[in-house]
Amino acid sequence: MAAGRMNHAMRRVTLTQFLIRRQHTGKINADLRLLIETVARACKAISTRVTKGALADGHGAAGMENVQGEAVQKLDMLSNEILLEANEWGGNLAALASEEMEMPHPIPTQFPKGEYLLLFDPLDGSSNIDVNISVGTIFSVLRCPKMADGSLCEPEESAFLQPGRAQVAAGFAVYGPTTVFALTVGDGAHGFTLDRETFTFVLTHPDIRIPADTAEFAINVSNQRRWEPPVKRYIDECLAGKDGPRGKDFNMRWVASMVADVFRVLSRGGIFMYPRDAKNTNGRLRLMYEANPMGFIVEQAGGAATDGRTRILDLQPTGLHQRVAVILGSKNEVELVTKYHR
């Protein structure tokens, strides 16, 4: 009986256990552990809401536009609220920022403040909600810079504008056939699956490694006529298959939810691209709460992430909602596309 219980305990590592181990080894402190657990709890709540689909009043547009000029969906707003309410009272954050809010959200005065900054895209791929395709939540954690007198910074936009390499944690949830939670605290990339019976995240994808080579690309080909020559060249060569310069056939996938596309890349390799083009001259994805966290986790899994020229994590941000070109995934393919840009 005792041995049986031990085996069971050894088999299943929950997110909480995983984080506590890292706290004990000094990789993260108690505040960061609580922060990640709180984000994960909010993701479970969003997952439950997404799963209700058309049975709850969550489908359709909210009747407003976000700071990017995109139609906000009802579930975008609800997910944003869930993340704000879960995180603002814990005492570990100095401020929060979200795709759905033009300016940073300060911690309400009745709550204590802490040393971290949390950024998130509450519901990535939200154009897929009403058609039952995977969506997700992306988050990034930074340290709040200290003022000259040692006190914590004011929660202004400038405090958030740190390069991606300064992230202390990042991850994302995918609300798909299963709800998964991918995480890095800077010691590898790890994936958890939501056990709906115990409502806990269980470590199912430890130490994820992205193969350096791949024969699968993800890009929205409807933008092809607007691409820059290096991207056009790379995709043309992939499409030429065995008869072309690459000497092998490539497959294509495009979910149009970055979370699902990146989870596939983490799971079996591949290259994901949303390059700049004649319409999206700075790219389409957001640096602070899409490209940076995904770049961090992909690098931690042995992959690479660039904007075609520069490593994503080395870009100096100039705005909370700035867009960026993204090329990420299997290292050798990302390096090839980046070489074509040079």
Count of residues interacting with ligand F6P (CB under 6 A) = 9
Position among 125, 191, 275, 317 found at the interface with ligand F6P (CB under 6 A) = 125
Q: Are 262 and 172 in contact (CB under 8 A)?
A: yes
Q: Is 327 in the site for ligand F6P (CB under 6 A)?
A: no
Query: CA–CA distance from 291 to each of 172, 184, 329 (Å)?
Result: 12, 14, 12
Selection from 297, 13, 264 nearest residue 138 by Cα: 297
Q: Is 265 in the site for ligand F6P (CB under 6 A)?
A: no
Q: Is 176 in the site for ligand F6P (CB under 6 A)?
A: no
List, in sequence order, every residue forming a beta bridge with 184; answer none if it has no partner.
Answer: 170
Q: Is 322 in the site for ligand F6P (CB under 6 A)?
A: no
Residues with Cβ within 8 Å of residue 71, at least 6 apart in sequence: 61, 62, 64, 65
Minimum Å distance from CB 127 to ligand F6P?
6
Minimum Å distance from CB 255 to ligand F6P?
7
Please report which residue ranges of the chain form alpha helices under DSSP H: 2-11, 15-24, 30-52, 74-87, 157-160, 229-240, 258-268, 292-300, 331-341
Q: In 3-state terms, what secondary structure has residue 104?
A: coil
CB atoms < 10 A from the CB of 237, how many?
Answer: 16
Q: Are 172 and 297 in contact (CB under 8 A)?
A: yes
- Binding part of the chain for ligand F6P, among 55-63, 155-163, 250-258, 298-306 by CB under 6 A, reads 250-258
Q: Is 271 in the site for ligand F6P (CB under 6 A)?
A: no
Strand order through the sheet with 93-98: 105-106, 93-98, 116-124, 135-143, 169-175, 179-184, 190-195, 200-205
Minimum Å distance from CB 279 to ligand F6P?
10
Minimum Å distance from CB 100 to ligand F6P?
12
| Nearer of residues 125 and 317 to ligand F6P, judged by Cβ | 125
Minimum Å distance from CB 329 to ligand F6P?
13
Position among 20, 161, 202, 256 found at the interface with ligand F6P (CB under 6 A) = 256
Q: Is 124 in the site for ligand F6P (CB under 6 A)?
A: yes
Minimum Å distance from CB 32 to ligand F6P?
26
Query: Token pair for residue 286?
Result: 């957001």
Position among 14, 23, 200, 220 found at the interface with ligand F6P (CB under 6 A) = 220
Q: Is 257 in the site for ligand F6P (CB under 6 A)?
A: yes
Query: Token pair for residue 243?
Result: 């008869």
- Binding part of the chain for ligand F6P, among 154-162, 232-240, 255-263, 333-341 by CB under 6 A, reads 255-263
- Binding region for ligand F6P (CB under 6 A): 124-125, 220, 256-258, 274, 285, 290
